[in-house]
């Protein structure tokens, strides 16, 4: 049926700031670049983690594709130069 493909906005948070994604599947880099474009004060080389709840989180690499859900929360921090 001639229904256009739905692109639904997904409302997430990056560093406690609201960000609107245009897709439910995104890479870590897309999430960071979208946040930067929406004035979240991070940089594209920051390390991105998805907050999973219960004090758990998972690092999301720039090329990692993840299923982003409404209300997903992410933390972006500067890379550690002391490794």
Tens digit of each residue's pLDDT (9 = 90 or more) over 37-74: 999 999 999 999 999 999 999 999 999 999 999 999 99
The residue segments making up the domain with residue 51 are: 10-77
CB 73 within 8 A of CB 56: no
Tens digit of each residue's pLDDT (9 = 90 or more) over 13-38: 999 999 999 999 999 999 999 999 99
pTM, two decimals, is: 0.86
**Is position 47 within any domain?**
yes
**Is position 71 within any domain?**
yes
**Is position 5 within any domain?**
no
**Is position 3 within any domain?**
no
Cα separations in angstroms, 38 against 15, 53, 80? 12, 25, 25
In the chain, the number of structural domains is 1
**Is position 2 within any domain?**
no
83 has pLDDT over 80: no
**Is position 1 within any domain?**
no
Report the half-sphere exposure of 19 (CA within 13 A, side-chain side): 30
2 has pLDDT over 90: no
As a whole number of angstroms, the distance between CA 26 and CA 17 comes to 18
What is the per-residue pLDDT for 8? 83
**Is position 4 within any domain?**
no
The CATH number covering residue 40 comes to 3.10.20
Helix (H, G, I), strand (E, B) or coil at 3: coil
């Amino acid at each position: 049926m001639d229904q256009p493909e739905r692109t639904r906005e997904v409302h997430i948070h990056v560093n406690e700031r609201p960000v609107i994604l245009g897709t439910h599947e995104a890479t870590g880099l897309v999430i960071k670049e979208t946040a930067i474009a929406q004035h979240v004060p991070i940089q594209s080389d920051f390390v991105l983690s998805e907050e999973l709840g219960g004090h758990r989180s998972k690092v999301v690499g720039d090329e990692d594709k993840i299923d982003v859900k409404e209300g997903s929360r992410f933390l972006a921090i500067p890379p550690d130069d002391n490794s």
